[in-house]
A and B are shown apart, each in its own frame.
Chain A
Amino acid sequence: MKIPSTIIELHEDLKNKKYTCVELVEHYLGKINSQNKALNAFLTITDNEAFKKAKELDRIILDNPKAFDEFPLLGVVMSLKDIYLTEGIRTTAASKVLENYMPQYSGTVVHRLESAGVIVIGKANCDAWAHGASGENSDFGPTKNPWNIEYVPGGSSSGSAVSVSAGMTFASMGTDTGGSIRLPASFTNLVGFKPTYGVVSRYGVISMASSLDSMGHFTKTVEDSERIFNVTRGVDGFDSTVVDHAYKAENINKKFKIGIPKEYFAKGLDPEIESKVMNAAKEFEKMGVELINISLPHTKYAISVYYIVQPAEVSSNLGRFDGIRYGNDRESFGSEAKRRIMLGTYVLSSGYYDAYYGKAMKVRSLVINDFDEAFSTVDAILAPVSPSLPFKIGQKVNDPLQMYLADIYTVAANLAGIPGLSLPGGFSESGLPIGFQLLGKRFSESTLFDLGKKYQAVTNWHDQNPL
């Protein structure tokens, strides 16, 4: 069974009865059965629920002539990072603390996806509590990169990325607090989308760092990324940080300007990645986009700001896990969660608060000012996602500082609350995927999607699949 690469083509196939939703579920379960043991991308497989939903949808296709207009994601099989609460389906955050937790409700994103016709096929592995850049911090074992199983797939939304990259689902929901969608997307040859902070509701998603958490997704194409965003975004009345922004089609025939920030091409960037990212920039130039050299002078401080603000918010969010109302007690936290709780408690504790947390909140303002200034002259910024290629499993586990530094090109977007789109940009000599990212000002998703679609129209990296 050949699954097409976009939802529009999938809908054509379903309309033409090339296959049914039930057959789609059978197809993906077959892929999961043959590959998940080696890749460890799923923590829970919801085959019964998926079949039930698929039967409902097949009935709707027969009965409702407008089915594909009313259900924009009809028949789209998805996995969910296991920090999205799903009523009656185990949700673990990949932590032993919640190894048997059955949520009493589902969150906004899950409701919206299911109402739009999505079939949820399982819950995806991740770094426990979304803490990590490699997927190795899961309490249920690391997820492997399908492009080479000795390498990490990137984290923290590791299983989400791998489930799509290896063809075990059509698309997947992840979360991006400091790069946790864009990084695994770039390590597995996918489109990874992080929305503007405050556009997609966080309700019903286990909190990591509340001022940074962004609900986004993985797809093969930008076109589908936009389609899913049009379902997940918008005010729900359950998350008071969500703003009511009217997105409309813009940019028709606009001559774009893309900024190339010199600080993202400095010492420490792998030359192979630099060359692929610059190739992507040249593709944009060929289509008439103007490239402009820019500077984001506080970039180097973003990692310190992030690793103060984020653990501070983590330590307070994980304070609620006491093993009384649900879950196991605090003895069950894994080592990375404990490390972040300790670090967050340190930077917030009396005597250190001003020097660390207070200072970080001020430098955060300067990081945001850098972006504001850049976006007064350019429509988007083009940059690498990671300074290095996917690394070998186990290579960085004993050196948390080195692991944290892998986030250097992704965290600034979270601190500033701006959207980011990670796109496939080619492969290394060793055959590992290399991505790049487009960043835009707040609410500029339409611009990023427009640029991304134009790029994918002239490149075919996204059509490459692992063996």
Chain B
Amino acid sequence: MAVTEDEVLHLAKLARLNLSSSDVSNFVDQLSPIVDYFKELNEVDTDGVNETSQTTGLTDVFRADNVDVIRNLSQEKALSEAKNTSNGFFVVPAILNKE
């Protein structure tokens, strides 16, 4: 298999996904043939070819640094979909230990 169980578990950790054991075996079975298929790209000679990450050709797009009231959401609106707020802030899980 091109993609191993250990790799699937590692990727899930990077992507913050909790996978069930059946998810893990499904992904080993399903991702491997897809990744194998990609190997056809090795046939293509890309020496000296530039990478394309976008097609507009635009670089460094600027706008005036003005406050635009239409663009702004009120604090109340911005928080309206959060399950847990406190004094106008989002409440998030702790990521640091107390010690």
Contact of A301 with B41 at beta-carbon distance under 8 Å, contacts A339-B30, A366-B49 already known: yes
B1 in the interface, Cβ–Cβ < 8 Å? no
A104→B7 contact, CB < 8 A? no
A27 in the interface, Cβ–Cβ < 8 Å? no
B82 in the interface, Cβ–Cβ < 8 Å? yes
A104→B46 contact, CB < 8 A? no
Residues of B within 8 A of A278 (CB): none
B38→A240 contact, CB < 8 A? no
Would you list which residues of chain A between 353 and 375 have a CB under 8 Å from chain B?
Answer: 356, 358-366, 368
Residues of A within 8 A of B77 (CB): 104
Contact of A361 with B53 at beta-carbon distance under 8 Å, contacts A104-B73, A346-B7 already known: yes
B87 in the interface, Cβ–Cβ < 8 Å? no
Q: How many of chain A's residues have a CB under 8 angstroms from any CB in B?
A: 58
> Nearest chain-B residue to A350 (Cβ)?
B14
Q: How far is the CB of A419 from chain B (nearest CB, A)?
A: 12
Q: How many of chain B's residues have a CB under 8 angstroms from any CB in A?
A: 50
The distance in angstroms between the C-alpha atoms of A347 and B34, with both chains bound, is: 11
A342→B35 contact, CB < 8 A? no
Q: How far is the CB of B72 from chain A (nearest CB, A)?
A: 10
Q: Give the residue of A102, A211, A330 whose beta carbon is less than 8 angstroms from that of B18.
A: A330
> Nearest chain-A residue to B13 (Cβ)?
A345
Residues of A within 8 A of B51 (CB): 358, 361-362, 364-365
Q: Give the residue of A101, A308, A404 whose beta carbon is less than 8 angstroms from that of B81.
A: A101
Interface flags, A299-324, vs B, CB<8A=1, else 0: 01100110110000001000100111
B55→A198 contact, CB < 8 A? yes
Residues of B within 8 A of A327 (CB): 81
Interface flags, A52-88, vs B, CB<8A=1, else 0: 0000000000000000000000000000000000000
B30→A400 contact, CB < 8 A? yes
Q: How far is the CB of B8 from chain A (nearest CB, A)?
A: 7
Would you list which residues of chain B between 17 and 55 have a CB under 8 Å from chain A?
Answer: 17-19, 23, 26-27, 30-31, 33-35, 37-38, 40-42, 44, 46, 49-55
The distance in angstroms between the C-alpha atoms of A105 and B80, with both chains bound, is: 12
B55→A338 contact, CB < 8 A? no
Residues of B within 8 A of A315 (CB): 15
Interface flags, A115-128, vs B, CB<8A=1, else 0: 00000000000000
> Nearest chain-B residue to A101 (Cβ)?
B81
A401→B33 contact, CB < 8 A? yes
B46→A304 contact, CB < 8 A? no
Residues of B within 8 A of A307 (CB): 34, 37-38
The distance in angstroms between the C-alpha atoms of A416 and B56, with both chains bound, is: 10
Q: How far is the CB of B48 from chain A (nearest CB, A)?
A: 9
Residues of B within 8 A of A366 (CB): 44, 46, 49
Residues of B within 8 A of A237 (CB): 63
B90→A324 contact, CB < 8 A? yes
B58 in the interface, Cβ–Cβ < 8 Å? yes
Residues of A within 8 A of B98 (CB): none
B54→A349 contact, CB < 8 A? no
A17 in the interface, Cβ–Cβ < 8 Å? no
Q: How far is the CB of A316 from chain B (nearest CB, A)?
A: 10
Residues of A within 8 A of B34 (CB): 307, 343, 400-401, 404
A359→B46 contact, CB < 8 A? yes
A298 in the interface, Cβ–Cβ < 8 Å? yes
The distance in angstroms between the C-alpha atoms of A102 and B82, with both chains bound, is: 11
A339→B73 contact, CB < 8 A? no
User: Besides A104-B78, A211-B53, A315-B15, 12 other CB < 8 A contacts?
Assistant: A102-B81, A243-B56, A300-B40, A301-B40, A307-B37, A307-B38, A342-B17, A342-B31, A343-B35, A358-B51, A415-B52, A417-B54
Shortest 7 CB-CB distances between A and B: which pairs? A417-B55, A326-B81, A361-B51, A362-B46, A240-B61, A198-B56, A364-B52
User: What are 11 A-B contacts with C-beta separation under 8 Å?
Assistant: A104-B78, A300-B40, A301-B40, A304-B38, A324-B84, A342-B12, A346-B3, A360-B38, A362-B46, A362-B49, A363-B44
